[in-house]
Amino acid sequence: MKKITKNFTDEAISAPHLFSDLAKVELYIAESYRTRAIIEMLQNADDAGATKFLIRQNGERLIVANNGQPFCNEDLISLCRSGSSTKTRGTGQIGYRGIGFKSVAGICKSVKVLSNNLFFEFSKVLTQKTLGIKTDVPLIRIPHPICEKEIENFHKVFSDMEEYKTVFILDGIDIRLVEEEIELFDSSSILFLNNTMELTFCLSTKKTLLKKRVINDSIIEIETSNKTARWNIRGTPELASKVALKYDGENIIPASDRESLIHAFLPTEENPGACIKINGDFSTDPSRKRIDLDDTSNSSFKDCCQIISNDINVILSGKDMYGFFSIFKNAQNGRFKKLLKEHLFSQLKDNLHIKNDIVKLETIRTKPDWINYQDYSLLESAFYTIPKDLDEAYPELYDFLSWLGVKELSIEECLTECEHLKISIFGSFEIICRAAKKFRFNLPNNIIDMINNKAIYPTQVGLKSGNEISNGEYNLLPDYLTLLREAENTSDLKIILKRAGINSVYPVNIVKNKVLAHTKPHQNDTKGINSQVKKWRSAELNVKDWFSGFSNVLLAKDVSKSHVGYDIEVKLKDGKEYYVEVKSVTSFSDAFEITNNEYAIGSQLKENYLIAIVVENKDEFTIKFLRNPISSLTFEKRIKSISWICDAYDSQLIDFKNGL
């Protein structure tokens, strides 16, 4: 110890101008690392193999301790020098520059270090006294021995710290800067540390205990006093490049903006372009706040993107990771979002795995809102269409594919291909409605040609062209006429159908008559029918679990986020299927409304379409049903966007207490 002190003292005496310059460099480092001093000491502790890290305030003194490998003489020399480190980049250790510890100069006036048999102090006052000068000197340069009495006194005062092998005593601290840094410290910051599992912060204003637990090979849990967060870690354990997805125990959920960061083992201030964390061997500026996109950083980011691409292919091939595509929604814009998109596109454009197929992105067409899934899927002969179960399981999938550059099915493409397909009555209606809406102000000649000559209109003998119908040879099906007359955009439809030569759709005074339901309601209600019904959950989830309680129900699935015109899909063991839209009311005398999409789907599905009327209040949870509601009830069209209001339905309510 004495020899090391003498060597650094002699060096300062022999080059006084250089020594003075080191003070300015240290000041620059401290300013650059503002609000990073604590995290730099945490990094050093992790590199020393520490599993525990402690910060404790004692008046104007801050105790920072860890239970890692104690200092040796070589470590002390590296600590004193600038840019000298015993660590090597790429070996799994975080620090390698040898300047991070200098940042403590920005938050304290002196530092004592007690580690193994090394006891020394960094102090500007002692350095100036040793050199006999009054000019500015660096704080972290010359180590001064600590007397045994002071060491004994410390051990008496802090006798409960025997498990900590290395202790830093920071005197004359700027408590404002310390509090500011700890306030900014997020618990997820320790996610990618190699060794540290427990952090304790004991300030006069705040006490925090933070624990990290490895649940299994992929799940890490971080617990604080008031919450527990879970992360799903993706990547190869022995490699630095990893992706962390926030996890609620069932689904992947988007990380917050504060959590969504790129880590170089510890967090930078860079957003990765998605609501996730990524870690890798990233080069940073001296403060570790920004990523330097050199070759090493670019390679690490590309590796992280490959992890994401691999997960996408695994998910679309059949593995459940519900919520995964939500990580791309509402992510912050920035340079890494653009880079993320570029890498994912490059990695997936010719190699997207969906079910048992390898698909090129350019061949995919996502389903637009204006066409039902059954008829959309018929277009698979011309384009690759997304399977329905993926659509329902991952509502954000279309948004992700659109962001990646995948095209949505256009009305022009649909008109071109649909005459070769057995599209449904409702599909034909949706196609002509979309054409009417899109081209209401400007009807191009090629569209006029298609609506005249393509066989897209349902008749008693199949699909026929507008020209064939205008000649009087064929008549439109009554159900198709009903859909056209109840459509939202009848004024637009009149124009486009007139151009197709079809003028008999809108006679004067069309009135829809009320049709009574054929099934009489039971008198008993379903109160308490299923123990899974819980008042604090959404009505959709309760209805799903209510159906799951019947022995003849094979599957009840909540698809409410997919916006398909119903909330619950029910499959029975005998092969029957029901599609249930859930409406919450305060009593069975309240009116309810359905959207134009729900009205159209109900018109198509008829007896297989149910509306579940749910009454939920403090004392009860009751469910009754309306079967084939579009035919059995009278709805009044009200112009909001377009809504259908029913305020008289009590005579049609059905109980399913005894099963479907």
What is the pLDDT at residue 25? 86
Q: Within this chain, do residues 272 and 329 fall inside the same structural domain, yes or no? A: yes
40-47 mean pLDDT: 91
Q: Which of 585, 596, 576, 597 is nearest to 626 (CA)?
A: 585
What is the pLDDT at residue 421? 86
Judge whether residue 504 has pLDDT over 80: no
Which residues make beta-bridge pairs with 622?
615
Judge whether residue 53 has pLDDT over 60: yes
Q: Within this chain, do residues 385 and 425 fall inside the same structural domain, yes or no? A: no
Question: Exposed, middle or buried by CB within 10 Å (0-12, 13-18, 19+), for 2?
Answer: exposed
Question: Does 437 map to a domain?
Answer: yes
Identify the band that residue 534 occupies on the pLDDT scale cut at 50, 70 and 90: low
| Cβ neighbours around 379 below 10 Å, total | 21
Query: What does the pLDDT look like over 96-111, one tens digit per residue?
Result: 445 778 888 888 999 9
What is the pLDDT at residue 525? 38
Contacts of 423 (CB under 8 A, 6+ apart): 375, 378, 431, 456, 463
Which of 273-277, 403-407, 488-492 is the least confident region? 488-492
Question: Does 394 map to a domain?
Answer: yes
Which of 291-300, 618-627, 647-656 is the least confident region? 647-656
Question: Does 286 map to a domain?
Answer: yes
Question: Exposed, middle or buried by CB within 10 Å (0-12, 13-18, 19+), for 423?
Answer: buried
CATH number at residue 158: 3.30.565
What is the pLDDT at residue 545? 83
Judge whether residue 174 has pLDDT over 70: yes
The answer to whether the CB of 127 falls within 8 A of the CB of 20 is no
The tokens 């209001």 sit on which residue?
645
Average pLDDT along the chain = 86
Which of 524-533, 562-571, 590-599 is the least confident region? 524-533
What percent of the chain is modeled with pLDDT above 90? 51
Q: Within this chain, do residues 142 and 47 fall inside the same structural domain, yes or no? A: yes
543-559 mean pLDDT: 85
Question: Does 658 map to a domain?
Answer: no
The single-letter DSSP state of residue 654 is B
Q: Where a domain ends, among 387, 409, 431? A: 409
CATH number at residue 635: 3.40.1350
558-567 mean pLDDT: 82
Query: What does the pLDDT look like over 183-201, one tens digit per residue?
Result: 888 899 999 999 999 999 9
Integer Cα distance of 434 and 489 in angstroms:
10
Q: Which of 52, 92, 87 is nearest to 196 (CA)?
A: 52
Integer Cα distance of 27 and 11 in angstroms:
20
Query: Among positive and negative, which fits the CA dihedral 374, 380, 385, 386?
Result: positive
Query: Among positive and negative, which fits the CA dihedral 505, 506, 507, 511?
Result: positive
Q: Within this chain, do residues 465 and 442 fall inside the same structural domain, yes or no? A: yes
The answer to whether the CB of 61 falls within 8 A of the CB of 202 is no
The answer to whether the CB of 263 falls within 8 A of the CB of 279 is yes
DSSP 233-297: EES-TTSS-EEEEEE-SSSB-PPPTTT--EEESEE-S---SSSSEEE---EE-TTSSSEE-SHHH
The packing angle between helices 295-316 and 335-348, to 10°, is 50
Q: Within this chain, do residues 43 and 158 fall inside the same structural domain, yes or no? A: yes
Question: Domain containing 266: what range?
Answer: 215-409
Q: Within this chain, do residues 405 and 421 fall inside the same structural domain, yes or no? A: no
Q: Within this chain, do residues 481 and 507 fall inside the same structural domain, yes or no? A: yes
What is the pLDDT at residue 234? 95
Question: Does 660 map to a domain?
Answer: no
375-397 mean pLDDT: 92
Contacts of 452 (CB under 8 A, 6+ apart): 465, 466, 467, 499, 500, 501
**Which pTM does this prediction carry?**
0.75
Q: Within this chain, do residues 290 and 339 fall inside the same structural domain, yes or no? A: yes
Identify the band that residue 384 occupies on the pLDDT scale cut at 50, 70 and 90: very high
Query: What does the pLDDT look like over 323-366, one tens digit per residue?
Result: 999 999 999 999 999 999 999 999 999 999 999 999 999 999 99
Highest mean pLDDT among 99-103, 277-281, 487-491: 277-281
DSSP 589-605: TS-EEEEHHHHHHHHHH
Q: Within this chain, do residues 187 and 61 fall inside the same structural domain, yes or no? A: yes
CA angle 573, 576, 577 (to 5 degrees): 110
Q: Within this chain, do residues 168 and 142 fall inside the same structural domain, yes or no? A: yes
What is the pLDDT at residue 155? 81
Integer Cα distance of 172 and 110 in angstroms:
7
Q: Where a domain ends, among 409, 426, 456? A: 409
Q: Where a domain ends, among 160, 175, 202? A: 202
What is the pLDDT at residue 482? 87
Question: Does 31 map to a domain?
Answer: yes
What is the pLDDT at residue 601? 87
What is the pLDDT at residue 83? 56
What is the pLDDT at residue 651? 76
Judge whether residue 424 has pLDDT over 60: yes
506-516 mean pLDDT: 44
Question: Does 621 map to a domain?
Answer: yes
What is the pLDDT at residue 62? 94
What is the pLDDT at residue 517? 32
What is the pLDDT at residue 652? 78
Integer Cα distance of 120 and 127 in angstroms:
13
Question: Does 530 map to a domain?
Answer: no
Q: Within this chain, do residues 355 and 451 fall inside the same structural domain, yes or no? A: no
Q: Within this chain, do residues 553 and 608 fall inside the same structural domain, yes or no? A: yes
- Give the chain's domain count: 4
The answer to whether the CB of 198 falls within 8 A of the CB of 65 is no
| Cβ neighbours around 270 below 10 Å, total | 21
Contacts of 538 (CB under 8 A, 6+ apart): none
Query: What does the pLDDT look like over 221-262, one tens digit per residue?
Result: 999 988 899 999 999 888 889 999 999 988 999 999 999 999
The single-letter DSSP state of residue 75 is H
What is the pLDDT at residue 613? 92
